[in-house]
A = this chain, B = another copy of it.
Amino acid sequence: MIVLDTPIDMHLHLREGKILENVLSHTTNQFAAAVIMPNLIPPVDNKERLFNYKEEILAKSENFTPLMNLFMREYSEDELLDLAEEIFAIKLYPAGITTNSENGVKSIENIYPVLEIMQELNIPLSVHGESSGFVLDREREFKSIYEKLARDFPKLKIIMEHVGTADLLYLLDEYENLYATITLHHLLLTLDEVAGGMLNPHYFCKPIIKTPKDRLEIQKFVKSGHKKVMFGSDSAPHTIKNKLKGAAGVFSAPVILPALAEFFENDIETFQKFISTNAIENFNLNIPKREVKLIKEEWSAPYLVGEIKPMFAGRKFRYKVL
């Protein structure tokens, strides 16, 4: 049996309403807490929207702590003073780069005053780090922006989200204030899953899953137990209909712990760091302790969750969440 102490998903999309209802339990079954992304329509970028969204999640879950993120805009100091205690971080989307990011930030300089305030108030910055360049180069091209942000705001904790390009991980040791989340799909898959056989929209996501070399480097970082590397699923539910229309996102929530249990198999200590301890220590998180157990028993991933096809649909795993 594997016993995990207070697992946290540091990057989760739940959407709202019916989709949220369908997917939420797949996370709360496995995680004590999750960082909830704010790219709804309209975005979660004010107190009312934030409170309502948090309430919706709490009303539909038990023993689960949603760590709320705000969608970046030009907030005033008063607004952030009012909200600082209610949020985990503020999420920066470059405009137009992924699902519902049309209202994102067009120029990083515009939000420098906000970053100043966040630094003062100790609110972390969460970043979808992609340029608008060639799809395979976008994360690498964003590297210099991460470096500039890290230098210009040395006390601001900056999270490089869902890193899929190994190059970015080397920044972790160069800049004290940079952190990274890694998804299940960037950890385990490559572009072959999308385009190697027939085109498979269910593994299409932004940033796109990349090369075997990137995957290998990411796996090395995760297996090393690097303190600044944390699990964040970026699990993103889209209906099959929307996936066939080209929507980006992988719905990995149902299979996360069984898949990670196989990945870590003989190194539960590193598993625990990756899935919880690193995040708690990096951000002084205060989350009610909750144990999650996996037993070694064959378990099959669901084929369908509502109208959403999950990652590894139907695949057999050697571990089952109790």
Binding site for B on A (CB under 8 A): 134-136, 190-192, 194-201, 204, 208, 211-212, 244-248
Instruction: Tell me, rounded to whole Å, the shortest Cβ–Cβ distance linking A72 to chain B.
Output: 22
Complex Cα gap A192–B130 (Å): 14
- Indicate whether A211 sits within 8 Å of B134 (C-beta atoms), given known contacts A199-B201, A199-B204: yes
Of the candidates B190, B212, B246, the one whose C-beta lies within 8 Å of that of A200 is B246
Are B191 and A247 in contact, with the CB atoms below 8 A? no
Complex Cα gap A124–B198 (Å): 30
Instruction: Tell me, rounded to whole Å, the shortest Cβ–Cβ distance linking A212 to chain B.
Output: 5
Of the candidates B136, B212, B246, the one whose C-beta lies within 8 Å of that of A191 is B136
Q: Specify which chain B residues have a CB less than 8 angstroms from the CB of A194 in the assembled complex.
A: 195, 199
Q: Specify which chain B residues have a CB less than 8 angstroms from the CB of A208 in the assembled complex.
A: 195
Of the candidates B198, B211, B245, B247, the one whose C-beta lies within 8 Å of that of A136 is B211
Q: Which of A136, A190, A197, A248 has the most CB of B within 10 A?
A: A136
Complex Cα gap A135–B197 (Å): 9
Complex Cα gap A248–B247 (Å): 19
Would you give 10 A-B contacts (Cβ < 8 Å), ordered by A?
Answer: A134-B190, A134-B211, A135-B192, A135-B195, A136-B191, A194-B195, A195-B204, A199-B201, A199-B246, A201-B201
